[in-house]
Amino acid sequence: MKRIKEACLEQTIHFQLNENLCHEAALGAVKAEVEAYKESLKKKEIRHRIVNEETQKDGSVILKLKRQYNAYAVGDYMN
């Protein structure tokens, strides 16, 4: 029988601009979406570490993070 002792996800998320909005509104929407995502991780008490947050030339944001998978222990993954 096997059991998962520790687990972690490594994610790269691209928050893209909404093409249906003017550029300034799309920039504001992306910024709000990134902050809402970060806040949801905190609210749900998901252990995470942001490895890199990079704003692209077009204003979109690429977020690289490590986060807890379900409720498993994360061990040394967050180091």
Interval 50-63: pLDDT, tens: 999 999 999 999 99
pLDDT tier for residue 77 given thresholds of 50, 70 and 90:
confident
Residue 21 and residue 30 in contact, taking contact as beta carbons nearer than 8 Å = no
State pTM to two decimals.
0.89
End-to-end CA, the chain: 29
- pLDDT tens, 10-50? 999 999 999 999 999 999 999 999 999 999 999 999 999 99
Pairwise CA distance, residues 20 & 27, whole Å: 12
